[in-house]
Structure 1
């Protein structure tokens, strides 16, 4: 590793911030390590309020020009960014895998193509964004989406580039400028995105990337009076802190937070399908906010469901995420491993039984775990673990199932397995969740609203909902009379 640059999987990555179209170093750094083996992979510039203020100033200076850029030109540049992502898919996939430990095959086949799609989708949606004029007592109402200003986007470590661009793309398409703060545990692909955006021709200051810890740089960003929008994906406690920080300036927030989502399996479901859906919740080592970590199974089929689940889960291969045959990679950080293990140990001490797993592996790997004999009011049922840990409870009726499903402070998602379409309609109507999947999981369309209820978040993004958040909506009312003759 040379000063201000590291090489990861053969890819050179600049470890400095990207502010106003230039690389900016900080006096101090922090170490970024790979979850695969714990080895250090880069010394990253450690931002402070100084870099935060500089990035917001750069975004503010660039905003008038970018906001005035015609829609078609903004869309063209976002498509150029997507082109750059596609050209560097292999590099981005390899760097992301080393940096956050998710499967390389998933990054190649699904995640990085989705990154490019994020830019293309919102670029195209921008060109169709309109509201039909309507009349009020002969007056014409005309609705427009006006760029709001500099946006601070704070993103998590579990899907770094995909979740970052899910925010960056609509914010830029809307005509806003952006300060992106990636998670300190997985900052590298955000730096590569800055390179790609610059190569695509994005004007200086339109996209800025500031790295560092929330307490040192995040607070300075979220409390800045020139910031017009804040979007955050992460934990409830951090969101509460950000909301308090933003309150003084009344800065609008979009918060996508944790979940404790249920998977309801009724006796009339295709059990093989239900088991497949349940085992799929171990994806990304369980580090998925949408994961249905609470398996709620009708009592009549619980024994058979558990038998089939154990048989299928036992075939999962945990190991190096760069290998094609690996199904589950490592946990992001030693602190996260300790957190997961703490949850499991306390659950076992309280009387839970580990059907599989229940312990860490070597290094930063945690064994896929299924816990039974858990109480509804227990910590392991009520709190988000964010690891490969599922619980299994039984129910005897629809009312019982819905009660258990809704009985947490979260409401991000829910999954339902049933062979009865009428039951599916009845149950989904009663579930508290931003997204409900019936006999499927993780099918997502950028046209659909996404977000959570209760403590799982505030607001919805996707399609026009994204522009509603990232813009100031304006209604212009014009009288039918009063025009002077300019003929």
Structure 2
């Protein structure tokens, strides 16, 4: 049993003020393999105090010095990538090859993109030609609390920690208590990189404990949270008392609109994307909207994808999906599969229970429902498991209406060879992101949504600016020594 009960505060691994042990479970085996401690208000306050003391020094360092520290952090991250992959695989169930390629790879991708964006970043900007003595000065917002999820741990940690550091903020990170060890390993990287004392701090804990204390703390100027819409609402209410900035990246129920002229790989690609990471992605295309003329063939193609998909333990090499992260998540997904059957959706692949030959672990059969009505529970709620709902449509207008008829607005997808239609549909979809014809968003594009998906914008220049406050200044001297 790994003993991971310490917190990283003020550049030291520190014992908790009060022991509140929690076992970390391997979802492939359902066995505990590590023990952490859940922090209390006192632990959180110690971390916030350290970050507050460090803020003046860090925020006033030259941007180039902060950049050098982050570049060193990336070097260490890449060097210890296999160690990180093993940790992620064990704690949240990502198959080891996928953990290295995608889970760890996402973190390196984001850090690299932030470094690129920061090299040309201006903290002092002219207002415009009409006001030559006016400047907009971008100030770091202050001490920030970062609350990250278990499903893509390094994706989200790097999307928050990297821009906060570059912006000049100091921070307290609270990773998910379900999968905390990867973030603790990241804290080791930060220590090795020489991030100054108090600039980066980590306290493990749950939402009602450390999460609530960070959200309410008067010395925290901003909360950046990724997780469920329910938790995002709770954080917003608590944070309102101190009027801090709240950046929320929440759930999704993405529609993948497949028109009759879509390329021949569109359905297969969409189903595979839905099942990636065992369906545990907020931007998964979980509603497949298919034009009626190709609907029957699409259902059969999607069914073949689900039935061909291998499921196995996370430490095994190969192209398979792993378990869900926890017993709680397993029970929820099973309940929603049952709800789909109960409400009359046509089950064409998968269904309740574990896959054949896997009697232990939180494994779920890749499941496809056809003839889904958009008012069914499986079309309204974020399942967060390998469950695809297929919905027929007749016209472009109907497809857009169905796609937008959801509380969420994170990411949608469009498949058609008609360029004018692609552009037209993309503009009408109510979401923060639209990906078309299988082309991923490019480096530096912002990640985030609208409506119940939150309104954060993470990544690139937008991600750095999330941690800055614009200050309007008149009477600026051209002779100022401050770099523009």
TM-score (norm 1): 0.93
2:107, 2:265 → 1: CA distance? 32
Match of 1:354 in 2: 347
Match of 1:284 in 2: 277
Deviation string 1:401-449 (CA, Å, 9 cap, x unpaired) is 11111111111010111121121112111111111011116x2434112
- Secondary structure at 1:426 match in 2: helix
Match of 2:96 in 1: 104
1:240-279 alignment runs, 5 A limit: 240-279=233-272
Match of 2:413 in 1: 415
Q: Is the 8 A contact 1:20 1:58 kept in 2?
A: yes
Q: CA deviation at 1:136?
A: 6.5
2:11 pairs with 1:21: yes
Match of 1:302 in 2: 295
- Larger mean Cα displacement after TM superposition, 55-64 or 113-122: 113-122
Q: Is the 8 A contact 1:75 1:124 kept in 2?
A: no
Q: Which ranges of 4 or more aligned residues in structure 1 deviate by more than 3 Å?
A: 134-139
2:292, 2:172 → 1: CA distance? 50
2:444 pairs with 1:447: yes
1:395, 1:78 → 2: CA distance? 48
1:215, 1:249 → 2: CA distance? 18
2:45 pairs with 1:48: no
2:98, 2:79 → 1: CA distance? 17
- Secondary structure at 2:303 match in 1: helix
Q: CA deviation at 1:65?
A: 0.8
Match of 2:458 in 1: 461
Q: CA deviation at 1:40?
A: 0.4
1:51-450 alignment runs, 5 A limit: 51-130=43-122, 132-135=125-128, 139-361=132-354, 362=359, 363-440=361-438, 443-450=440-447
| Cα RMSD after superposing both structures | 1.8
Q: Is the 8 A contact 1:138 1:480 kept in 2?
A: no
Unmatched segments (≥5 aa) in structure 2: none
CA distance 1:38–1:326, shift in 2 (3 Å): farther
Q: Is the 8 A contact 1:253 1:458 kept in 2?
A: no
Deviation string 1:199-257 (CA, Å, 9 cap, x unpaired) is 11111111101101111211111100000111000101100000001001111011010
Q: Is the 8 A contact 1:296 1:401 kept in 2?
A: yes
CA distance 1:298–1:205, shift in 2 (3 Å): same
Match of 1:11 in 2: none
CA distance 1:174–1:388, shift in 2 (3 Å): same
Unmatched segments (≥5 aa) in structure 1: 7-13
1:25-44 alignment runs, 5 A limit: 25-26=15-16, 27-44=19-36
Deviation string 1:74-127 (CA, Å, 9 cap, x unpaired) is 100111111111111111101110011012112222332332343333234223
- Secondary structure at 2:51 match in 1: helix
- Larger mean Cα displacement after TM superposition, 73-82 or 18-27: 18-27
- Larger mean Cα displacement after TM superposition, 401-410 or 347-356: 347-356
